[in-house]
Amino acid sequence: MTQVVFDKPQEHMGLPLPHGKVAMWLFLVTEIMFFTALIGVYIILRHGTPANSPFTWPAPHQVHLVEWIGALNTFVLICSSFTVVMAHHAAVKGNMKNVTTYIGITLALGALFLGIKAYEYNAKFQHDILPGHIGESLPIPAKGEHQDGFSLSDLQAIQREKNSNPTGMQYVHRVTDQLNAIIADAGADAKLKEDCAALVDEMRFKTAGVDEKTGKPVLGRDGQPLTGYQAPLSPGEVGERVNHILHEHEAKEPHLTPAIPFGNLWASCYFAMTGFHALHVFGGIVIFVIILLMGLIGKLGPQHASLLELTGLYWHFVDIVWIFLFPLLYLV
Amino acid sequence: MSTTGHATTDDAAHDLMTKAYFTVFIALSIFTAISFIANEAVRQGWIGVHTSFVIIIGVAVIKAVLVGYIFMHLKFDWGKVYFIIVPIFILGIMMMLVFMPDIVIAWQPGQHPLEPPVSTTGTR
């Protein structure tokens, strides 16, 4: 009699990987999704700007981004990725003294990255390149300057949308305060103060008559006495004149908020992406501090090679995110 | 004898890995310089914007692959974790694609001409 015997297949529990590594990869894929959302939003908003318009997505120089500083920060993170992988390598070999040294260098490089980022953030605050602060409106360029590739109806639609935006008046109020602060500043340049005072004067609503202070007729923008009234400047016109003052007095770096079409969207994306990335760098630094302390008090051993590998995985992921943020924000 | 043999093999493997890490580090540094130069080349008018875009994004992808493949040890672990990573990339790309029609394509020339509203005053 023939008997059939079925071999019961051998059951494997889990992946052929340490649990810690599986957990770290699962964590990293959630992080990939998080940063994909941020970067994806940036790409879509950037390419969602009108194709046939003189108003394009802000260029790096408009928002005071310096390319070589971004490249330097990229190099700093690449160096730190190399040192952290060497730390793990040294741990596998059991050379714990080298592990401590490499982790110390990685920690210093991470801190340097955050220091450079803080310097860049400070420049944004100095120039008031902040979400919700930037003027969005600018007058449509004179015919002939951008006459190819867009229709007047497109421009009118864009302009109508921007002028109806309540942030326009918020921008005018903010700039008025800034202009008055420069005028009142005893240490400010005389020509700068003169230009600011002229702009404040242009921004006022005027009617024909005699100026109470000077006793002379009220003058219009053309320098002639007013016969009727003069409407205040629109947010777009204010932005144009502020940009002109900033250009004329570039070396003095006056604290005036510029008008940059799509500038607020850019600033929101920039601070969201680089801010969350910096938070991740800070998180890595905290872990490196703990590992460094363990190394310094002699508590770090070859048994911690797995800890170093997982920390390295996290740190390399942070590096990869910056590898994409750098070209998207600073270059293309 | 055999212990010495194992030790020699391990040392050789470690040296090989150290060499690979250092090579990747140098490659990453050179690629960063290439992307910076490509950006500068556009300013100088040596290459077009689209060419520069392809170079810069291509370089970024290569850099990310190098970091993942060598530094993150996907060279050894890819077969064990690919099923976690691949779906995320598919979902990430899909997420961007679903927003494209409304936000990006709507602004392209000739698709939806924006006409100013017709005045309703003074028609009679």
Question: Residues A267-283: pLDDT tens digits?
Answer: 999 999 999 999 999 99
Check if B5 contacts A (Cβ < 8 Å). Answer: no
* pLDDT confidence of residue B5: 56
Query: Which pair of tokens denotes residue A73?
Result: 């920060």
* pLDDT band per the 50, 70, 90 thresholds, residue A90: very high
**Partner-chain residue, chosen from A25, A81, A327, that has the shortest CB–CB distance to B84:** A25
Average pLDDT of chain B is: 81
- Report the candidate in A153, A156, A155, A137 with the shortest Cα–Cα distance to residue A234: A137
The C-alpha angle with vertex B80 and arms to B76 and B86, in degrees rounded to 5, equals 105
- What part of B 82-101 touches A (C-beta under 8 Å)? 84-85, 88-89, 91-92, 95-96, 99-100
**Residues B56-103 pLDDT 10s:** 999 999 999 999 999 999 999 999 999 999 999 899 888 888 877 776
- Name the more confident of B31 and B7: B31
Cβ contact, residue pair B108, A309, below 8 Å = no
Residues constituting chain B: 124
- Spell out which residues of chain A touch residue B103, defining contact as CB-CB under 8 Å: 44-45, 47-48
Mutate to test the interface with A, among B14, B39, B90, B118 (most CBs of A within 10 A): B39
CB A208 within 8 A of CB A227: yes
For residues A186-193, give the mean pLDDT: 88
The C-alpha angle with vertex A46 and arms to A40 and A49, in degrees rounded to 5, equals 135
Cβ contact, residue pair B35, A331, below 8 Å = yes
- Spell out which residues of chain B touch residue A81, defining contact as CB-CB under 8 Å: 25, 28, 67, 71
Looking at CA atoms only, how far is residue B64 from chain A in angstroms? Answer: 5
Backbone angles phi, psi at A289, to 5 degrees: -60, -45
Backbone angles phi, psi at A135, to 5 degrees: -70, 130
pLDDT at B108 over 80: no
Check if A69 contacts B (Cβ < 8 Å). Answer: no
* pLDDT confidence of residue A51: 64
Considering A30-44, A149-163, A164-178, A306-320, the range whose residues carry the highest mean pLDDT is A306-320
How far from A18 is each of A91, A125, A138, A233, A313, CA to CA, in Å? 17, 46, 58, 67, 14
* pLDDT confidence of residue B96: 80
Cβ contact, residue pair A316, B68, below 8 Å = yes
> Which residues on neighbouring strands pair with residue A135, listed in sequence order?
A259
Q: At what angle do helices A305-326 and A263-296 cross, to 10 degrees?
A: 160
* pLDDT confidence of residue B123: 40
**Residues A244-259 pLDDT 10s:** 999 999 888 889 999 9
Q: Which residues contact B104 (CB under 8 A, 6 or more apart)?
A: A44, A47, A48
- Spell out which residues of chain B touch residue A78, defining contact as CB-CB under 8 Å: 25, 28-29, 32
Check if B72 contacts A (Cβ < 8 Å). Answer: yes
Report the chain A residue with the minimal C-alpha distance to residue B11: A93
**Residues A139-161 pLDDT 10s:** 776 554 444 455 566 556 556 65
| Cα distance between residue B66 and residue B73, in whole Å | 10
**Core vs surface per residue A277-316: b (16+ CB within 10 A) or e:** bbebbeebbebbeebbebbeeeebeeebbbbbbbbbbbbb
**Residues A297-320 pLDDT 10s:** 999 988 999 999 999 999 999 999
Pairing status of strand A229-230 against strand A206-207: antiparallel
* pLDDT band per the 50, 70, 90 thresholds, residue B4: low
DSSP state of A207: E
* pLDDT confidence of residue B117: 46
* pLDDT band per the 50, 70, 90 thresholds, residue B122: very low
* pLDDT confidence of residue B100: 74
Mutate to test the interface with B, among A323, A325, A326, A328 (most CBs of B within 10 A): A323
- Name the more confident of A143 and A51: A51
* pLDDT band per the 50, 70, 90 thresholds, residue A326: very high
Looking at CA atoms only, how far is residue A90 from chain B in angstroms? Answer: 9
* pLDDT confidence of residue A231: 72
- Whether the complex's predicted ipTM surpasses the cut of 0.90: no
Place of tokens 């009679």: B124
* pLDDT band per the 50, 70, 90 thresholds, residue B52: very high
Backbone angles phi, psi at A269, to 5 degrees: -65, -45
CB A162 within 8 A of CB A136: yes
* pLDDT confidence of residue B116: 46
